[in-house]
């Protein structure tokens, strides 16, 4: 999850300095996000 958040922050999509967003997600949320990104072709 941290890798994804770092990427989004570097691209300017999120402001990671506003707080640690990774703390707001659990393992189930992370799997849902990964699956969605895979379905969209952003990650393998």
Average pLDDT over residues 33-37: 92
pLDDT tens sequence across 7-33: 888 888 887 666 565 667 788 988 998
Query: What's the whole-model pTM score?
Result: 0.47
pLDDT for residue 39 is more than 90: yes
Boundaries of every domain in the chain: 2-39
Residue 19 has what pLDDT? 57
Output b/e per residue, 5-42; b: 16+ Cβ within 10 A: beeeeeeeeeeeeeeebeeeeeeeeeeeeeeeeeeeee
pLDDT for residue 36 is more than 90: yes
């Amino acid at each position: 999850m941290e890798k994804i958040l770092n990427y989004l922050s570097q691209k300017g999509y999120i402001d990671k300095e506003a707080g640690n967003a990774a703390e707001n997600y659990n393992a189930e949320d992370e799997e849902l996000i990964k699956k969605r990104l895979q379905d969209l072709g952003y990650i393998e």
